[in-house]
Amino acid sequence: PCNVVVLISGSGSNLQAMIDSLAAGDTPARISAVISNRADAYGLTRAAQAGIPTAVLDHKGFADREAFDSALIQAIDAYAPNLVILAGFMRILTPGFVRHYQGRLLNIHPSLLPKYKGLDTHTRVLEAGDAEHGCSVHFVTEELDGGALVVQAVTAVTPGDTAQSLAMRVHQLEHRIYPLAMRWFAEGRLQLDGDSAMLDGVPLPACGTL
Ligand code: GAR
């Protein structure tokens, strides 16, 4: 099976969605480790409950991003993963790190990229008066929240929405599309080809309805 390492910083609800979808048994993958940069990340508890080894690498213990990222590479590569999944990992990664995992590093971001890179996406969507919001899975490249799109999910913004209600709906969508992208990769169907993600040899993103 595809050997996956998941990086988290917080609640780990996306990690949980992956654990649950792997338990269903139709994805040829296993999560060999969960690594957090924060010791208090609840996702570490989720991993332990699922019997997955965990490690904490606190970025505050390192002089700079380069030193942290090379220690992180060592910690990850101890598990020799085929795929590294960023699931709410709230650190900017160095170009060297991103290059090291080129084509096998996925991220999820709570916006319809290329819109709203960075933080506070739900608030910014409301302030802009957008009719639609959503989330995106993408291969990671050196540009922050850039990279080749794999799959997006969309929700309509309604007049009563708040940043909280949007965050909740976007999370629910994330929990559907991230396990899907993991499954495609594990099945050998998803690849990064130059600037484009390919599914079964066809450039992504494809459009669908959840
Ligand atoms: C998710 O909404 C994810 O899109 C976001 O962090 C949250 C993690 O939730 N990621 C980013 O903002 C990356 N720039 P989780 O810990 O419950 O999976």
Instruction: Report pLDDT for 32.
Output: 98
Residue nearest to atom 2 of ligand 1 (CA): 110
Q: In the chain, which residues have pLDDT < 50?
A: none
Instruction: Report pLDDT for 22.
Output: 98
Residues with CB under 6 A from ligand 1: 8, 10-14, 43, 87-88, 108-110, 135, 171, 174
Residue 38 contacts by C-beta under 8 Å, 6 or more apart in sequence? 9, 10, 56, 58
Read off the pTM. 0.96
Which whole-number Å values give the CA distances from 177 to 29, 94, 155, 192, in the listed order?
A: 16, 26, 13, 17
H/E segment holding residue 176: helix 163-186
Instruction: Report pLDDT for 91.
Output: 95
Instruction: Report pLDDT for 206.
Output: 66
ipTM score assigned to the predicted complex = 0.98
Return the structure tokens found at 13.
Answer: 């609800």
CA angle 36, 38, 42 (to 5 degrees): 80
Instruction: Report pLDDT for 142.
Output: 84
Secondary structure, 3-state, 48-110: HHCCCCEEECCHHHCCCHHHHHHHHHHHHHCCCCCEEEECCCCCCCCHHHHHHCCCCEEEEEC
H/E segment holding residue 163: helix 163-186
82 labelled binding-site residue: no
Known catalytic residue at 109: yes
What single-letter DSSP state applies at residue 113?
A: T
H/E segment holding residue 151: strand 149-156
